[in-house]
């Protein structure tokens, strides 16, 4: 049995690792457990890249949070002694005039209101600035120089190593299986591997495993899988920053977004859309033939030079979706000594540098201006998610 802690954090993804570090920096004894090895291969945070972008339509809070998070990513680059956040800028391209594209127009307007400097680009200027965009399909949009991508798996690995150096007791190879209860008070967890971890307060930050450990959350969150493709272009230079940057290909209407050439020698294209519901361990995370067909259609419209590119790797990225697509950060209303920090909904990683202190404030019952939208809440089972950049399906097909 491990030595009791002030806080036990379950899950070492971006929510859990930052929480453990923030609580340790506040002077607490903290234990962090994870199935491991860290970064855990099945965790949503573990990937070669995640977008870091301010563009959130008319949601001012998310934009303000990312503005601060970007400053934090630069601090992490300095702390780690390695550039893991790459500020390529963001291209938000639209197939229609911006005035007819709510996500692009409201994001552009909000950026201006928040003192940022997006550059509006018509179709000709998009093609001139970024030569891969030559099909004429995209007629409007903007480039925001502040934003880019983070090498997410490597970031998590560095954060957890830093947390261990700071005194967090990191226990890899431990999978939370059962809460330890005394009446309605949670006193820790028992793991699948047979260990007991005791703590004054437990924070479940287990991503898509959260609502299996806490079944009462299953009506308000689910795990969904979304296709990812790694491509090896015939001409990599065309798809290398600064001539090619992190992009949205009319994402709120198509779901497609992607990255310039990455450290791994590939470019990555993904779909931020409806996805398919999956169990985090029992279901294979495979890409279907219809996903390949949709990718080919997108490439034909957007980057026909990539139609001949070798697809070197595919998988489904697993989101822990809340029904409204906002995070879930709060004390458990029915159990003492238990908090939940989860619900990344496919857009949580970019907030990493501000997540830890936000979650720690909630856990400590300290005021935080950002906490209110993420509190424990009732959700309509039939509601549509509210994340502005995400493709939620075509109304005519009901998906």
Instruction: For residue 72, give Cα distances in angstroms to 68, 88, 153, 353, 362.
Output: 6, 16, 17, 5, 20
pLDDT digits (tens, 9 = 90+) for 181-225: 999 999 999 999 999 999 999 999 999 999 999 999 999 999 999
Residue closest to 306 by CA, chosen among 234, 230, 228: 234
Q: What is the mean pLDDT of residues 96-119?
A: 98
Does the pLDDT value for residue 396 go beyond 70? no
Q: What is the pLDDT of residue 395?
A: 44
Instruction: For residue 256, give Cα distances in angstroms to 161, 246, 263, 375, 389.
Output: 33, 11, 21, 30, 10
Give Dmax (Cα) for the chain.
66
pLDDT digits (tens, 9 = 90+) for 263-319: 999 999 999 999 999 999 999 999 999 999 999 999 999 999 999 999 999 999 999
Cβ count near 309 (within 10 Å):
21
Q: Are 288 and 278 in contact (CB under 8 A)?
A: no
Q: What is the mean pLDDT of residues 102-110?
A: 98
pLDDT digits (tens, 9 = 90+) for 137-157: 999 999 999 999 999 999 999
Q: What is the mean pLDDT of residues 83-96?
A: 98
User: Cα 214 to chain center, whole Å?
Assistant: 21
Distance CA 14, CA 116 (A): 26
Which residue do the tokens 């928040």 mark?
A: 114
Does the pLDDT value for residue 90 go beyond 60? yes
Say what the alpha-carbon torsion angle 14, 16, 17, 18 is, to the nearest 10 degrees: 80
Please provide the average confidence, as pLDDT, over all residues in the chain: 96
Helix (H) or strand (E) holding 254: helix 251-254
Q: Are 29 and 7 in contact (CB under 8 A)?
A: yes
Q: What is the pLDDT of residue 399?
A: 30
Q: What is the pLDDT of residue 373?
A: 98
Distance CA 53, CA 106 (A): 14
How sure is the predictor about 2, in pLDDT bands with cuts at 50, 70 and 90? confident
Q: What is the pLDDT of residue 165?
A: 98
Distance CA 207, CA 202 (A): 15
Please give the domain boundaries of the chain with CATH numbers for all domains: 5-45+153-220+324-374 (3.50.50.60), 50-150+222-322 (3.30.9.10)
Q: What percent of the chain has pLDDT over 70?
A: 99
Q: What is the mean pLDDT of residues 98-126?
A: 98
Instruction: For residue 357, give Cα distances in angstroms to 15, 18, 171, 353.
Output: 10, 8, 22, 8
Surface-to-core class of residue 168, CB atoms within 10 Å of its CB (0-12 exposed, 13-18 middle, 19+ buried): buried
Helix (H) or strand (E) holding 150: strand 148-150
Show the tokens assigned to 18: 């930052």
Could you check whether the bond before residue 39 is cis, i.e. omega within 30 degrees of 0? yes
């Amino acid at each position: 049995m491990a030595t009791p802690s002030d806080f036990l954090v379950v899950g070492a993804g971006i929510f859990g690792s930052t929480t453990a570090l923030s609580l340790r920096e506040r002077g607490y004894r903290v234990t962090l457990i994870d199935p491991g090895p860290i970064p855990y291969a099945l965790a949503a945070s573990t990937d070669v890249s995640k977008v870091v972008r301010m563009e959130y339509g008319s949601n001012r809070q998310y934009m303000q949070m990312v503005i601060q998070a970007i400053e934090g990513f630069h601090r992490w680059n300095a702390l780690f002694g390695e550039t893991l956040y790459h500020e390529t800028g963001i291209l938000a391209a639209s197939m229609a005039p911006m005035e007819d594209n709510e996500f692009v127009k409201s994001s552009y307007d909000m950026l201006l209101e928040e003192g940022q400097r997006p550059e509006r680009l018509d179709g000709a200027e998009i093609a001139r600035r970024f030569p891969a965009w030559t099909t004429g399909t995209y007629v409007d949009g903007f480039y925001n120089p502040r934003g880019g991508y983070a090498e997410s798996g490597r970031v998590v690995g560095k954060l957890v190593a830093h947390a261990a150096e700071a005194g967090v007791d990191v226990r890899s190879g431990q999978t939370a299986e059962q809460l330890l209860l005394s009446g309605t008070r949670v006193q820790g967890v028992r793991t699948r591997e047979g260990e007991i971890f005791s703590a004054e307060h437990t924070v479940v930050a287990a991503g898509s495993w959260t609502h299996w450990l806490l079944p009462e959350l299953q009506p308000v969150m689910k795990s969904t899988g979304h296709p990812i493709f790694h491509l090896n272009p015939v001409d990599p230079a065309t798809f290398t920053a600064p001539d090619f940057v992190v992009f949205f290909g009319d994402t709120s209407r198509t779901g497609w977004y992607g990255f310039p050439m990455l450290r791994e020698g590939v470019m990555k294209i993904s779909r931020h859309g409806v996805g398919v519901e999956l169990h985090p361990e029992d279901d294979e995370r495979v890409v279907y033939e219809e996903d390949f067909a949709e990718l080919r259609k997108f490439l034909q419209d957007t980057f026909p030079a990539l139609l001949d590119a070798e697809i070197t790797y595919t998988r489904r990225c697993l989101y822990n979706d809340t029904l409204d697509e906002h995070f879930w950060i709060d004390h458990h209303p029915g159990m003492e000594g238990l908090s939940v920090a989860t619900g990344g909904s496919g857009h949580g990683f970019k907030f990493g540098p501000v997540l830890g202190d936000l979650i720690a404030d909630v856990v400590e019952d300290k005021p935080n201006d950002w906490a209110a939208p993420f509190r424990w809440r009732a959700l309509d089972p039939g509601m549509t998610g509210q994340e502005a950049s995400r493709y939620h399906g075509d109304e005519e097909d009901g998906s």
